[in-house]
Amino acid sequence: MSVEWLRRQIGLVSQEPNLFAGTVVENIRIGKPEAELEEVEQSAKQADAHNFILNLPEGYETFLTEGGGKLSGGQKQRLAIARALIREPKILLLDEATSALDNKSERIVQSAFDKACHGRTVIIIAHRLTTIRNADRIVVIDRGIVQEMGTHEELLAKGSLFVLSNCLIETQGLLIKPHVDKYEEDESGSSSEDELSDNEFPNSSEMHRKESIRTSEPSEHDNLSSVDTNVSVLRNKKTHALLEALAMNKPEWPYLFYGLVASTATGVTLPMFSLVYAEIYGVSDLFGMQDPSAKRERASFLSGIFAMLGFLRLFFASTGNAALGVAGARLTKRTRRLFFKAILKQEVAWFDRPENQAGLLTARLATEVQSLHRVTGTQLGIFFESFGLVVSALTIAFLYSWKLTLVAMAFVPALFLAGTLQTRQLSGGDSQKQGLEANVAQEAFTSYRTVAAFGLEKAVYEKFRAASKKSPGSRYCQSLLFAVVHCLANGTFFFLIAAYFYTAAVLFDRKELDLPSIFRIFSAVNFAAQGLGRAATYAPDFKTASQKIKNTLSTIHRETRMDVNEGLYPSEPLKAIFEFKNVYFRYPTRRRVRILKVSYALCTYPVTCSQA
């Protein structure tokens, strides 16, 4: 028997329903991807979820964050029931489906269960015995062994284990009964999350009590719409994000300073090679020397200079990269801690935004923070190396012949542009798409039971492909552009050689330039072009990393609207009465939807051990 076929015959509603990031209709269609909207609405009505869905801001098209964070437990559970019913299963499996709900939500969900049970076999796993009163057969299991079996009335008549469990659970349900005017829904199942006008909510300043133990004043940004905008790091600062990142690297300044100096020295060693290389064709032409001993001595001297330059470049490159690597790694570790700490201190409403889903935040924590290493680590050293290389090479070239140098430099902008475009084509990637890919993967991993139970392996795979692939037209255009840029990058260098040596021959005939100088200038300009090309290679990556740093610092510096550490701590046990009247709650992303209206009084007084 095919496991996939068997799973299609079963509808599962678990204790903690896993809802995916997407609209309400997309979450219900998980049970049947090809379902029409009418089928979705019908299954929602069977699950007693249609009314509250219509009262959502956008109805069935309301976007839910991962896990359904905007919904209450009862609402999420009824969406899970609708998701299971839309596939018209032969068997409906309810695994502790009401154990995490309060009494009022349990009654509403139980009503939905009663509607869903008609016409199919239902298996209910429950600790709350109120959910199985109407079951045809109840099996009591203790430590994996069947103890009793029968209907509700038969087991009550027998007494023993079933009666004891029933009494205990009913007693626990009566322990706490807060006075709530209106909660998530009334007993009829209709939602009370009606849209309210702004003046139906009490003014926050009027609700602020003078006797509050909090000493902080209400924020001037009490308007909930401000939550929809991340606080910029630089709102009150003129400091650039890159400079702030370097300032955060202050404890590693010795490593950073030496690494940048060593990288600059690494770049200077290459133009020095052009000076030594030209000496082969200098006044004492090595290949034109007749004396074997003098020729050997000259060759040994030049070889020693080449070896020394190679050793210096090896030393500066290795030690400089090591120092910058240490500085960048420590900064990344420090920033990752700050980033994670900033996420933990944010108010719950911040996580309701689509860009702050768990998968995207996890991807940012893993990859985005690493961008600081690119800017303040080895890649910053590469820019300094290129800077030292270009400056020293052009200085040498202009000292020997400014005319020939200008001819060669005329082709450098084209080489630089071609190299930049080529690198962008090779390394270009949409970081936002990468974040979406990570979120889809994270959802699949955390909800693997739901994926397996509903046979969503192919659907999740296609969703991942859709999040990661680009349109065919975009790929064709990029391929064509890459071909043009690649031809430009390779052809320009040969045009440079042709123009350079033609001009060099003219200047040589005029006695304005000797042969060694021609090779010195050519090598120097060639090295300068290499330095610019290398800088162009990392320029797009540097720009992307800079933007990611801004996003990272923006999150780190964002001030939460609900700081749990604000205010004073009482030095003595409180003895007072706190009264709450007409307290409203609403999500910032759904400002016109009232979730809760509650009134109650809370008495506090010191309790001694003997009283306890």
Q: Which residue has the higher pLDDT, 408 or 103?
A: 408
Phi-psi region of 22 (alpha: psi -120 to 50; beta: other; left: phi over 0): left
Q: Are residues 408 and 480 in the same domain?
A: yes
Report the C-alpha gap between 400 and 396 in whole angstroms.
7
List C-alpha distances in Å: 201 to 46, 370, 593, 595: 33, 44, 11, 12
List C-alpha distances in Å: 605 to 179, 213, 255, 470, 572: 21, 16, 58, 64, 11
Q: Which residue has the higher pLDDT, 335 or 484?
A: 335
Q: Minimum mean pLDDT among 222-231, 361-370, 463-472: which range?
A: 222-231
* Containing structural domain, residue 586: 198-215+568-604
Q: Is residue 591 part of a domain?
A: yes
Q: Are residues 49 and 143 in the same domain?
A: yes
Look up tokens 């100096």; give the residue: 261
Q: Are residues 259 and 292 in the same domain?
A: yes
Q: Is residue 60 part of a domain?
A: yes
Q: Are residues 406 and 257 in the same domain?
A: yes
Q: Are residues 19 and 126 in the same domain?
A: yes
| Residue 435 burial (10 A CB sphere; 0-12, 13-18, 19+) | buried
**H-type alpha helices, 226-350:** 241-248, 253-278, 292-345
pLDDT recorded at residue 262: 93
**475-493 residues labelled b (16+ CB within 10 A) or e (exposed):** eeeeeeebeebeebbeebe
Q: Is residue 178 part of a domain?
A: no
Q: Which residue has the higher pLDDT, 161 or 354?
A: 354
Report the C-alpha gap between 548 and 235 in whole angstroms.
17
pLDDT recorded at residue 285: 61
Q: Is residue 344 part of a domain?
A: yes
Task: Using only the alpha carbons of the chain, give its radius of gyration.
Answer: 36
Rounded to 5 degrees, what are φ and ψ at 149? -155, 140
Is residue 215 very low, low, confident or very high in pLDDT (cuts 50, 70, 90)? Answer: very low
Q: Is residue 248 part of a domain?
A: yes
Q: Are residues 167 and 302 in the same domain?
A: no
Q: Are residues 333 and 380 in the same domain?
A: yes
Q: Are residues 359 and 491 in the same domain?
A: yes
Report the C-alpha gap between 100 and 75 in whole angstroms.
12
pLDDT recorded at residue 363: 78
The DSSP letter of residue 106 is H
Q: Which run of H or of E encompasses 108?
A: helix 103-116
Q: Is residue 141 part of a domain?
A: yes
Which CATH number covers residue 370? 1.20.1560.10
Q: Is residue 183 part of a domain?
A: no
Q: Are residues 448 and 301 in the same domain?
A: yes
List C-alpha distances in Å: 275 to 302, 395, 526: 11, 12, 13
List C-alpha distances in Å: 547 to 363, 374, 434: 16, 12, 15
pLDDT recorded at residue 161: 56
Q: Minimum mean pLDDT among 176-190, 370-384, 468-482, 523-537: which range?
A: 176-190
Q: How many folded domains does the chain comprise?
A: 3
Look up tokens 């006075």; give the residue: 179
Which CATH number covers residue 11? 3.40.50.300
**Count of C-beta atoms within a 10 Å radius of residue 121:** 13
Residues 371-385 have pLDDT tens digits of 777 777 777 888 888
pTM over 0.75: no
Report the C-alpha gap between 469 and 431 in whole angstroms.
13
Rounded to 5 degrees, what are φ and ψ at 521? -65, -40
Q: Is residue 40 part of a domain?
A: yes
Residues 168-214 have pLDDT tens digits of 454 444 443 444 443 344 433 344 433 333 333 333 333 333 333 33
Q: Are residues 18 and 107 in the same domain?
A: yes
Q: Are residues 259 and 372 in the same domain?
A: yes
Q: Are residues 204 and 277 in the same domain?
A: no
